[in-house]
Amino acid sequence: MKPVPAATTAPRAPVKLFHWKDLWGAPPQLDLWVHHTSYDLLQRYHPGDAHQHRDFYALYFVLAGRSRQVINGHSYAITRGDAYIVPPGMVHFHTASQNLEEETVFFRTTIFRAGEIAALSAMPGLWRTFLGHRRAARGEFTDYRLRLSPELFSCAIAIVEEIRAELRMVREGDASAPLVARASFFRLMAWLGRWSHDLEASETSRAGERRGLAGILQFCEEHLHEPLSVPQLAARTFLSTAHFHELFKAEVGVTPAVYLRRLRLSHAQRLLSSTTRSSSDIALSCGFRDVSQFARAFRREFNLSPRDYRRRLRSETTA
């Protein structure tokens, strides 16, 4: 999925700068650290949340919940099973997080010995895509996310737990633990790199499907007043309903039904605020069966009836 420009979520406050020494509990002598973060409640973006890492990378694994991660002005929908990496210097923050839980592997470039970066950069997949330090510094990357299958995600988390266990041994004075933790880290990155390379090959075969999906989004906007159905949309792409549903959710971030409902309601909002048309007229022009269905959907989405929404807008305008 191509990232969505995040102009409306761009930070408006000074960006915080974090150094390795600022990480939670990371021993200064180590180049590798693991941290678990949990957001229990619905959290929306606060301008002070935007930050960047000065001298380290962060590799995130989403254990639960969902959010939108904004990296250098591009917004990515993330959910359980996703992995994404943030290189040094990239301004990033979460927005609209809900019950988000992440496992993060932090590492400094000093973890690599002489010649290792050149050797690892020759690997396909993750190393070429994410860890080209000079290109990252110029901000050339736009896609930072890997979407892992449940099986692959479980394997990755198991390796992260191995790293955590060895780092715990470091605190207990085990002299061999840093070497074992480093070995597990390299195994994790090499494994992700190989999987990412396989993904790139499969993505090529899906390019045509994505082009068809772009046409479907345009079709939905142009035929919003019609009673569109998911099977009808799937038929236009010559895909089965199940495959269309899976592809649509992976690329757009929500199911076709949710997308259609939100598109209709967004158009209805504009009509309520910019015209004097009746709710019944607006309901039909936005593809709802009748005004009752429209009112129920509107209230469920915005916690207001269409009439109360319009009344509030008028009171705010005259205030």
d(CA 141, CA 113): 24
Per-residue pLDDT at 42: 42
pLDDT, one tens digit for every residue, the chain (319 residues) = 344 443 344 444 578 889 998 887 888 889 999 999 886 544 444 444 788 998 899 999 998 887 878 887 777 778 888 888 888 888 888 876 777 889 999 999 889 887 777 666 666 655 544 554 444 445 444 556 777 777 788 889 999 999 999 999 998 889 999 999 999 998 898 888 777 655 555 555 555 555 567 778 888 888 888 989 999 998 888 888 998 888 888 877 788 999 899 889 988 988 998 899 999 999 999 999 999 999 999 999 889 899 998 988 887 766 5
Per-residue pLDDT at 196: 67
d(CA 244, CA 233): 8
At position 110, the amino acid (one-letter code) is T
Per-residue pLDDT at 157: 93
Q: Which two tokens stand for residue 240?
A: 């089965």
What are the backbone dihedrals phi and psi of residue 146, each rounded to the nearest 5 degrees, phi first? -120, 135
Q: Could you tell me if 63 and 102 are in contact, meaning their C-beta atoms sit under 8 angstroms apart?
A: yes
End-to-end CA distance of the chain: 43
**Angle value at C-alpha 113, between 111 and 116, nearest 5 degrees:** 105
Write down the CATH superfamily of domain 4-205. Regulatory protein AraC (2.60.120.280)
Per-residue pLDDT at 41: 47
Q: Could you tell me if 91 and 50 are in contact, meaning their C-beta atoms sit under 8 angstroms apart?
A: yes
d(CA 304, CA 145): 36
Chain centroid to Cα 181, Å, comes to 28
Q: Could you tell me if 275 and 286 are in contact, meaning their C-beta atoms sit under 8 angstroms apart?
A: no
> Which of these, 58, 56, 54, 123, lies nearest to 94 by C-alpha position?
58
- Alpha-helical regions (H) of 73-223: 116-121, 126-130, 133-137, 150-171, 177-205, 207-222
d(CA 107, CA 20): 9
> Which of these, 256, 262, 309, 304, lies nearest to 287 by C-alpha position?
262
Per-residue pLDDT at 51: 87
Q: Which two tokens stand for residue 27?
A: 């021993």
> Which of these, 96, 72, 97, 95, lies nearest to 85 by C-alpha position?
72
Is the backbone of residue 125 left (phi > 0), alpha (psi -120 to 50) or beta? left
Same fold across 4-205 and 208-318: no
Per-residue pLDDT at 167: 94
Domain 208-318 is found in CATH 1.10.10.60:
yes
Per-residue pLDDT at 199: 57
> Which of these, 87, 64, 91, lies nearest to 75 by C-alpha position?
91
Q: Which two tokens stand for residue 90?
A: 């990239």
Q: Where exactly are the structural domains of the chain?
A: 4-205, 208-318
What predicted TM-score, i.e. pTM, was given to this entire model?
A: 0.58
